[in-house]
Chains A and B, each alone.
Chain A
């Protein structure tokens, strides 16, 4: 799955998982490097998401009233 399609919290959870798995001493170097690469991408993505986010506010009943 492409990282860009992930929701923030999904990316965040995945990153947490990766960070846990990287602590496993049995993990091979190749796997570690692959995971780390994935982690870097997720980390950047999470940061970007947080930094770029702007709160959306919708006055639901105002819209309803205008329709009425």
Chain B
């Protein structure tokens, strides 16, 4: 037998549920205690948020924000909210429309945990860890984050733009929710065993709960114990997760972490340009200096070159010759002038007088000449006689004439008596002939023959 079943449209069913909920008086003015999370003000008019405890969450909305003291409210605050339960058909959700909110504790449970753990780790000295230096030119960078998140895109874009020489090695992990902490620890362990230069631990912005895995003790301790330098970039600027305190470098965002992990190529290029310009200038200066020195040397050489000296001497000679020439010319001119004057004077007189005068001067001239030449000849004759006398003195025959004799044996002149022996045949040379003789006895002056 078929049971009659009523078929609802989605709207009809939603309205049906709405009617039921709104007909329950207890739900029309109800007070709920829970911790605020996902606090999202919308254009200063509404605030959407959730209230939660360990097992459940409740969507909430505040419409009359002007009636409430908002400044103490936000994520993690434990509150008592009063209002009515209403269905929100468009989302298929029920929600608490709050009229009144009372703060129970500003530190929510998670915040409490956060501060307790932070204090514990601080006392242990984990935050005083010696920071490892970040290598300035990394080649391999491990990124521990979700392959589906915004963080990995930010990291890739940033490093691509700044320093594309690296290899990025993504170690995927869940970054929120239950179990994320185990995945993060596993990914960090794998990344640390890789031969990378830097590890980036990143996650995009989110609520305090979203970022919670990065406050988990096992994750913080793992980050603390990594061999490789680690940069954290979790959440937004204002968020401080506990991993930030044990990282070698804390960046405010994933993009920030990427920026700090690599140098900026454009700055490097600029640096290269500067260095190079400087090097070029140095070299230029050096060349100019060399050029100057070379030029100086060339000048010095030109001045001191031997050919220069010779040239200077030649110039001196030239100058001297010119001087000489001009003085000789002057003298010649003067002589010619004198002669001319004399000639002109001579022409003025009577022709016979002229001849007489000329004969007279010719006579004088020849007289002078005869005298001078005669003297010269006498000088020469005298010189010749002297030379003859001198020559006579060196003639070897001179002494022979005086009675000396030249002795030869076998054609050779004998200068000492002791080279002679008895019965030697010798020649006696006189100035007018030769006599042959035989030595009878040889002796010195004391045993004169």
**Which A residues contact B (CB, under 8 angstroms)?**
7-9, 12, 15-16, 18-19, 22-23, 27, 29, 32-33, 36, 39, 43, 46-47, 49-50, 53-62
How many residues on the B side are at the interface (Cβ–Cβ under 8 A)?
36
* Bound-complex Cα distance A36 to B194 (A): 39
Q: List 5 A-B contacts (CB under 8 A).
A: A22-B283, A36-B283, A55-B167, A57-B170, A58-B167
Contact between B268 and A32, CB atoms less than 8 A apart: no
* Bound Cα distance from A54 to B272, whole angstroms: 20
B interface list, Cβ under 8 A from A: 136-137, 139, 142, 147, 156, 159-160, 163-172, 187, 190-191, 194, 265, 268-269, 272, 275-276, 278-280, 282-283, 286-287, 290
Q: Which residues of A contact B194 (CB under 8 A)?
A: 60
Using Cβ atoms and an 8 Å threshold, which residues of chain A touch B171? 60-61
A-B contact count (CB 8 A): 89
Majority SS at the chain A contact face: helix
* Inter-chain contacts of B287 with A (CB < 8 A): 29
A39 x B276 contact (CB < 8 A): yes
Closest 10 interchain pairs by CB? A9-B137, A53-B164, A19-B275, A55-B164, A56-B167, A55-B160, A53-B165, A22-B279, A57-B168, A61-B172
Q: With A57-B156, A61-B187 as known contacts, state yes or no: A23 contacts B164, CB within 8 Å.
A: no
Question: B147 touches which one: A9, A33, A56, A59 (CB < 8 A)?
Answer: A59
Cβ of A46 and Cβ of B169 under 8 Å apart? Answer: no
Q: CB-nearest residue of chain B relative to A8?
A: B165
Chain A hits for B272, CB < 8 A: 12, 15, 43, 46-47
Give the complex CA separation of A7 and B163 in angstroms.
14
How distant is the Cα of A12 from the Cα of B275 in the complex, in angstroms?
11
Question: Is the beta-carbon distance between B279 and A54 smaller than 8 angstroms?
Answer: no
Q: Which residues of A lie under 8 Å from residue B276 when comparing CB positions?
A: 15, 19, 39, 43
Determine the distance from Cα of A46 to Cα of B275 in the docked complex, in whole angstroms. 13
- What residues on A are CB-neighbors of B164 within 8 Å? 50, 53-55
